[in-house]
Amino acid sequence: MAGQTTNDTIVGFKKISTWGTAVAVTSTNAFKLKVSQLSLSGGFGVINTRDTGFGKKIEDVARGVFTGNITVSMDLSYNQPWTALFASVMGTEGNASSEITASQGDYSHTIDLSDSISNSSMIAWTLAFTTEESVGAKLIELPSVKFFSASISQDVNAQGTVTFQGFFDKVVTSGWTTSYANLTGLSGTTPYEIAILGGTNHYLRMNASSGGSLSGSNDIPIQNYTITLNRPLSTRYALRAANSSYTYEPLDLGLIDGQVSFRLLEINASTLDHLANWSAATDQKAELFIDGTQIGSGVNRSIKIQLPALEPSPGLPAGYDIPNNNSFQNPIAAFTMKKRSAAPTGMSGVTDYIRAIFIDQRSTKWTA
C-alpha cells in the first residue's frame, strides 16, 4: 500500500512521567500535532560472528543496542501544541497567566531555559502515529521520546519552520498502549493560525545588552532569522535483562548551545553596526515579536522571543565581502546565546539564553 499521507495520517503525543513507560495518547493533555515531516532513524547495532573457519560467511547475527532518533518539522503557528515540544527542550514552563483581558480567553505562557532536562525535570513524551491508511488499526508508538534540539527559522513574508530532534527508547509495532481509536479520536487544537513574518506589529529589536529598554527606535530590518537551541544528551545502556538494548533516560552531557542569526537588509551602521560589535565583542540583547489575529476582543495571538545576552559569533561576519557586482551585500549578524548574571533593562527575570512568551488560548501549561 502506498504510503501517501492523508487526513488519516495522525500524529499524537502526550507527556509521560516515567522514562520507558508509555501512556495512552488520549484524553486531557493529549495533542494532535500538525507536522510537515516526521522521520525516524537508527535501529539495532549488528553483532556478527567473529569465529574463523566458516568460509567468510555469516553464521549468526545478534542485535546490539538500539538507537532511536526522531526529527519532526512543522509550520510555525499560533496556539498549537508544538509549543509543548518547545517547552520540553527549554525545560521550564511557568503556569499560564491569568487572562490578559478579562473574559476574553487570552493567556500568556512564559518558557525559560532550565539547567537540565533530566531526572525530576524531565519532560518527555509518548508519541504515536498511524500507518497503513486504508487498513487502519495500525500504528507506530514510541513509548518515550525526549527532544534535545529545537530550531525556528523564517524568512520575511513567509511561514516559519520549527524542527525538533530527539531520542526515543524503542519502537512498538504491536500491543500498543495507545489505540488506533485513541489517535483518530484526537481533536486538533483550534484555531490553527499560521505565523507569517511581516505583519504591521512585527519587529526585531536589538541594542547593547547593557543598554536601555528596547523600543521602536531599536528596530532592525531583517530578511530572515534562525534560532537554534541544542542541549546535548547522552543515551545510557546497562544490563537489565530483556530491555538492556534500550536506553535508560538520556541525560544532559555538555554545554547547552544556543545560536541565533539574522540576515540584515543592508549594511547600515546606523541601524546595527555588527562589524564594530563583532570586533569589540560587544554583547547585544534582542527581542523578536510576531503576532496573529485577535483573541476575542483581547490581545492578539503572538510569539515573543527574548535574548538577553548575545555574543557576536567569533567567525568573520558573512555578507560584508563583495560576491560580484550583481549581488546585494546582505550581512549575517550571528550570535551565541549566553547567560547573564542579572536581567537586562526591560527584560525583568530574563537571564538565561532565551525566553519565549506565547499568547494563545490555552488556559493551562502546555506541559501540564
Partner 1 sequence: MSSSDEAQIGEELVVVVEVVERPDGSVGLGNSLELTMSEAIEAIKAGKVRAETAPIGVVPADWE
Footprint on this chain of partner 1 (rule: CB under 8 A): 97-102, 108, 199-201, 213-215, 291, 294, 299-300, 302, 346-350, 357, 359
Sign of the torsion angle spanned by Cα atoms 279, 280, 283, 287? negative
Please return the burial class of 141, using the count of CB atoms within 10 Å of its CB with bins 0-12, 13-18 and 19+: buried
By the 10 Å C-beta count (0-12 exposed, 13-18 middle, 19+ buried), 130 is classed as buried
Cβ 299 to partner 1 shortest distance, Å? 6
Distance of alpha carbon 140 from alpha carbon 216, whole angstroms: 49
> In terms of Cα–Cα distance, which of 148, 124, 129, 117 is closest to 21?
124
Angle at 20 between CA 16 and CA 24, to 5 degrees: 45
Q: Which is nearer to partner 1, 94 or 185 (CB)?
A: 94
Strand 61-75 to 161-168 pairing: antiparallel
CB of 180 to partner 1, least distance (A): 42
Of 88, 153, 99, 77, which is closest to residue 127 (Cα–Cα)?
Answer: 88
Q: Judge whether 135 and 123 are in contact, CB under 8 Å.
A: no
The total of other beta-carbon atoms located within 10 Å of residue 54's CB is 10
28/98 with CB nearer partner 1: 98
CB 139 → partner 1: shortest distance, Å?
A: 40
Placement of cell 536581567 in the chain? 343
Residue number, 73 or 104, with CB nearest to partner 1:
104
Q: How far is the CB of 108 from partner 1 (least distance, A)?
A: 7
Cα–Cα distance measured from residue 351 to residue 330, given in angstroms and rounded to the nearest whole number? 30
Nearer to partner 1, 214 or 233 (CB): 214
Considering the complex, state which of residue 98 and residue 325 has its C-beta at the smaller distance from partner 1: 98
C-beta separation of 203 from 219 below 8 A: yes
Least distance CB 364 / partner 1 (angstroms): 15
Residue closer to partner 1 (CB basis): 27 or 294: 294
Minimal distance, residue 134 CB to partner 1, in Å: 46
The least distance separating partner 1 from the CB of residue 345, rounded to whole angstroms, comes to 8
Which CB atom, from 15 or from 355, has the smaller least distance to partner 1? 355
